[in-house]
Amino acid sequence: MCSVRAEHKKRQIIDKANRRAKKLRPKCFFSSCSELAINSHSQSVGRSLKNISVDDKVIGLSIDPFRPPEDVDDWFKEIGIRQASLFKGFCWKHDSEFFRSVDDFEMADMDKVTLAKLAFRTFAMAVRIKQQESCRMSTVIKESEGIFYTDDLYYHNVGQRVFLKKDFPYYLSKFEKMFNSDNYDDVESAVFLLNRNIGISCSTVIDPTLISPKNLYDHDIVDLQPAMFFTVLPDFAETTVIFTYFINDKQAALNFIGEHDKLEDIVFNHCEDVLFNPHFFHSLTDSQKRKIVKALAPWIVWGKVQFPDLFKVNLTSPNYY
């Protein structure tokens, strides 16, 4: 009876945390804009998601570590491309006008401006995820009184809160200064062009100094962390892989890229926003899917999950912008 009561209490706390997180109504990500944010897409519907969809549907992660399913496929769900990759990012005007060039560009037209805007949208998505998760986790930690949360969950939340207090305003200021001045000398991108559509689309912010677990433990959590903005853009018959970074983080970014010639190790160990082509997803074994869940699930003990060569591509010979 006690276990039933405890499980009921746990479900009540989680539902309360989810409701609070969903009630967040952030303003437009631009600091100068006071309009409410609408549902923005972190990944372009026409430019990326359409190119990995089947009948306008993709497969996305649906991870809830408080309610582990029996079947690994229950960690994933089918999503229509109009509902995929949504986050409360920008007001309607900024979302449609500022990012129009990002959603319409051809590879031959790629330039620093387009790459900077892609990075900025990725940054906005990562911040909004952290804001929502921090709200959710703070509620769980407070309401559960230590009953069912772990130290890993607690420190994960502390890390999120430090990022939102220090890193978020620092990088937001750098981006906005760059856009306002129309000067892109402070940013660089390493771009890899793969000769086929690899069946995924994703974007995330990576700390390029976290190459191994030891790097994580050597970090002081209150220090400003380097940031690299990572995007995988699928096209009809090719895929573009983009790493964008500010110049002061260049060496750390290049070291990270040099240590990760296998794309799987970056996508599934670091990304928060991965979407799959349904055919590619269903070609994975249960063992491979469980590895993906282990690598992407939040607040686990950090460590690199080793993947087989799923995409069969190597990251070599980038173009720099």
Q: Give Cβ neighbours of residue 226 (< 8 Å, ≥ 6 apart).
A: 207, 208, 209, 245, 249, 252, 253
pLDDT at 121: 95
Q: 39-41 and 86-88: which strand pairing?
A: antiparallel
Query: In this structure, are residues 261 and 315 in contact, taking their beta carbons and an 8 Å threshold?
Result: yes
Q: Give Cβ neighbours of residue 71 (< 8 Å, ≥ 6 apart).
A: none
pTM across the whole model: 0.88
pLDDT at 174: 96
**At 34, phi and psi to the nearest 5?**
-100, 0
Q: At residue 66, what is the residue type? A: F
Query: In this structure, are residues 234 and 197 in contact, taking their beta carbons and an 8 Å threshold?
Result: yes
Domain boundaries, the chain: 2-320
**At 181, phi and psi to the nearest 5?**
-90, -15
Q: How far apart are CA 207 and CA 126, in angstroms?
A: 12
Q: At residue 74, what is the residue type? A: D
Q: How far apart are CA 26 and CA 49, in angstroms?
A: 25
Task: Give the CA dihedral 288, 118, 160, 79, nearest 10 degrees.
Answer: -50
**SS3 annotation, 63-122:** CCCCCCCCCHHHHEEEEECCCCCEEECCCHHHHHHHCHHHHHCCHHHCCHHHHHHHHHHH
| CA end-to-end span of the chain | 63
Q: How far apart are CA 289 and CA 296, in angstroms?
A: 11
pLDDT at 300: 47
pLDDT at 228: 95
Query: In this structure, are residues 90 and 28 in contact, taking their beta carbons and an 8 Å threshold?
Result: yes
pLDDT at 148: 62
Q: How far apart are CA 288 and CA 207, in angstroms?
A: 25
Tokens for 127?
A: 């911040």
Write out residues in the chain with pLDDT < 70, as ranges.
Answer: 1-4, 6-7, 63-69, 145-152, 210-223, 297-303
